[in-house]
Amino acid sequence: MRARKFRAGLVLLAVTALGLTAGSVPASAATYERLLNGTFAGGTIDPWWAGAGTTGKVTGGEFCTDVTGGTANGYDALVGQNGVPFETGQQYTLTFDAHATATQQISAVAGEAVSPYRQISRTDLTVTSATQHFTVPFTSTLDFPNAGNGQLAFWFGGQAANNTVCLDNISLIGGVIPPGGLPPTSGIRVNQESYTPGLPKHATVISGSATPLTWTLRNSAGTAVTTGQTRPRGADAASGENVHDIDFSAYDTAGTGYTLVVGSETSFPFDISADGLKKLRYDSLAFFYHQRSGIAIDARYVGATYARPAGHVNVAPNQGDNNVPCRSDLNCGYTLDVRGGWYDAGDQGKYVVNGGIATWELLDEYERALKLGDASALGDGKLAIPEQGNGVPDILDEARWEVDFLLSMQVPDGKPNAGMVHHKIHDAQWTSLPTRPDQDSQPRRLSPPSTAATLNMAAVAAQASRLWRTIDPAYSAKLLAAAEKAYAAAKANPNLLADPNDGTGGGTYSDNTVTDEFYWAAAELFATTGKSGYRTDVTGSSLYRGVSFNTHGFDWGSTGALGDITLALVPTDLPAADVAAIKSAITTTADSHLAQMAGMGYPAPYRTADGTYEWGSNGLVANNGVVLALAYDFTKQDKYRDGAFQAMDYLLGRNPANYSYVSGHGDQAVQNVHHRFWAHELDPSLPTAPPGALSGGPNSGLQDPTAARLLTGCAPQRCFVDDIQAYSVNEVAINWNSALAWLANWTAEKSPSAVDTTAPAAAGKPVVSAVSATGATVTWPASSDAESGIKSYDVVGVTGSARKVLATVTGTTATLTGLSPSTAYTLVVVARNGAGLTGPDSASTQFTTLPDASGGGCSVTYTATSWTGGFTAYVTVTNTGTTTWPTWALKFTFPGNQKVTQGWSATWAQSGAGVTATALPWNASVAPGKSVSIGFNGSYTGSNPPPTTFAVNGKTCSPVARSAN
């Protein structure tokens, strides 16, 4: 949890409409308290402020103000509280205790905090050195809503000499409108963005009826298109409401502007379409470009409204991030150039532990798509960023902006704690709202290194090294070196914990437990390097095999699950049973989420021990949606997919607040998030939040004055207001948006553009030409599909009942490579449409590849290490010929009953005793004299003799080196 504190600009009550309107409070009046922190029991004056000519602080449990003398008017020195609600014609009673060092007149003033500064009441009183209790009744002549422009102030000016005035037990009772709650909106809550065709579609309606109600779905013209009956659910604890469920899943006609109607209630409009989620996939990632530090945000990519100069590049009034010293009390003896990276949240600090998980989620989003999904949707040219068109997937370009910053926070060699990573860098003091990054004049300071920050950098750098290995080998090596240095430094300094009191100018991000960070970093380093030391740290951890997964969810302070997700996705030599245990932990946690969501009026995968909601609850909802999505990836069970989409429904409007918590997506989407540039609510010249920013969401703690004033007594899921000052419920943060981006990409991937249950027609009979020893060209007449169109074709080799896809293309021609010389092939072509449905086989075609006349040769080394019932084999294949292999396929036959259970660095297949390992795209080309290393885990009974004969691309390799033990 971060603590965000700021002091808003102070506004004064003008000396107009003076006079006291007194009245008595009837016995039947409500006893609503309209002020916050009137007892100062917490030792702070917030949200009270002290104006010009005054210095206020809590002394002896009282709010004491030092007043500079010599002013002419009472309002020349004053204190007050803004956002106080008043209702016209309603009665109020102000009470307080006061005393002063010297006797003087003060004024208690209620009225308007902005021009034209109208007044409701002013009462002049005399305070002495003895504490007195004052009671001031009045009737309001003006209306100011909660968190509006109402103000209560005490004037201390107009005195000749300096003085000190102390106040305590300040209370304002009155009015009839209860505090808290939300603006009146529809009683029907829907996903305001869109529902996906072909998937479940649910909404919630507030009703205390014990019997079903009739609902009607209307199209954009207002015409009823289908109807049904609600399902009463009764009292819903999280929302504090009585609700019914609306299930309109059976209606699947794509369109825009649908509404649901129950009685006199009408929902916000929504679409039935996959387009909204596919747009959100990119909007949620665009958030990170907006948050970049050290670079101008260009109108070419974000539009003129959101363009801004570069922040913190040492251009006045910035002091810059290019030469940042440590905090003055640290005396570390060096400065760091820490330009770049992402601003963490609504402030302009940069925090390694939050940047760590946020970067990891973007990288994992891509890595998961590479292995289990559609990585092309995240490729080069997909995002509006300066790096588009550089040949690197855009999501990796965006992540690199933060990865490089994380590396820059490492303590240099030769300095104390070398290799460790500084916890954070931010302003020396909190900046006010609004402050555009380039206008921030605060000095920037490094906080001390921490074990948690060091392990975050190690984990992310190791993960990034893995993904850049074939994109930029030099950069990959740099990342791995930094990661290994950081991990070694963290093991040497395992208890350097962030100071929980280091919260001036930036959030603390303190974390007293780093077992999870050690596990996460070890897992990433092991998955990248395969080194035995990291493997030992992984398997020896108390968190091994999915222990970190729970229904609360993972976040910046609980990162063990990140390591497990990597181990579940990235092939390693871990025992298959252990990887299965990790996947089982994911599905078990997902099942627990589904069980809880089944009993909720507004289903969200979120749980705390006491049922409350906490700071950043929406980030946890999204991360738990990731768990549901992975459970679907690993099992293909529809219940997990549907649960992940329900999480998105909640974030996009099916919630008791009736807001889409994602800006720019939905008719009542958040706009006034807590942010120092997206501050239109405070400065009309500044923008509201851009599309794709996720608000932190409901928070029962109400840890800011605006939320406390507006939401006291709120049910957990209703503790939300779209107000820039309400930072404990409406801030944004990179780690929440990274979770949204991961989930948005996954749901977009799983969203067909339309419902299509008809398979495509068969493709025409293929024709083979340009046959060589290892390849051929295949062409065929096109298939057809009226609903979804043809998306791709598979060219399939058929041997008896065995089938192998030899190529997948979008056109009607395929170039086959990696075939075996002197081998007969039977081919068919299978069409696939836009809905993922495959058609029947085409008519088959036979051909035989030519003999191998290349003069090429090969050699193979095979080494196996056995244990009871299992073994690990390492295979090195060398091109001993004179021409480059464009691709390769290794074949051998086990002499015993061995079975391949898990392989790496190749695609492994086994039929009977015969084994085939085919190249992956990144290691397919092998030049003369070069080798490729692959391997697998296997099982056996009895003995484990090595294979005796190996062939590459149909040619027997000789000589063969082999051993087993």
Q: How far apart are CA 193 and CA 298, in angstroms?
A: 28
Using an 8 Å Cβ cutoff, are 704 and 328 in contact?
no
The one-letter amino acid code at 25 reads V
Name the burial class of residue 331, with classes exposed (0-12), middle (13-18) and buried (19+) by CB atoms within 10 angstroms of its CB. exposed
Structure tokens that stand for 731 in this block: 């801030």
Using an 8 Å Cβ cutoff, are 750 and 638 in contact?
no
Q: Tokens 């484990």 belong to which residue?
A: 944
Residues identified as active-site: 347, 674, 722, 731
Question: How far is CA 725 from each of CA 66, 85, 683, 707, 716, rounded to the nearest angstrom?
Answer: 27, 16, 13, 8, 20
Instruction: Specify the 3-state DSSP secondary structure of 509.
Output: coil
Q: How many alpha carbons fall within 13 Å on the CB side of residue 867?
A: 4
Name the burial class of residue 915, with classes exposed (0-12), middle (13-18) and buried (19+) by CB atoms within 10 angstroms of its CB. buried
Q: Are strands 858-867 and 202-206 parallel, antiparallel or unpaired?
A: unpaired
* 855-892 exposure pattern, b = at least 16 Cβ within 10 A, e = fewer: ebbbbbbbbbeeeeebbebebebbbebeeebebbbbbb
Instruction: Specify the 3-state DSSP secondary structure of 627.
Output: helix
Report the chain's terminal Cα–Cα distance, integer Å: 53
Give the 3-state secondary structure of 905-944.
CCEEEEECCEEEEECCHHHCCECCCCEEEEEEEEECCCCC
Output phi, psi for 449, to 5 deg.
Answer: -65, 155
Peptide bond into 959 cis (omega under 30): yes
Q: How far apart are CA 266 and CA 269, in angstroms?
A: 9
Neighbours of 815 (CB within 10 A): 12
Output phi, psi for 150, to 5 deg.
Answer: -70, 150
In 146-262, beta strands by DSSP E = 150-155, 163-174, 188-189, 194-195, 202-206, 214-218, 224-229, 231-236, 241-247, 255-262
Using an 8 Å Cβ cutoff, are 34 and 172 in contact?
yes
Task: Residue count of the chain, please give it.
Answer: 965
Instruction: Specify the 3-state DSSP secondary structure of 791.
Output: strand
Name the β-bridge partners of 467: none
Structure tokens that stand for 832 in this block: 């696939």
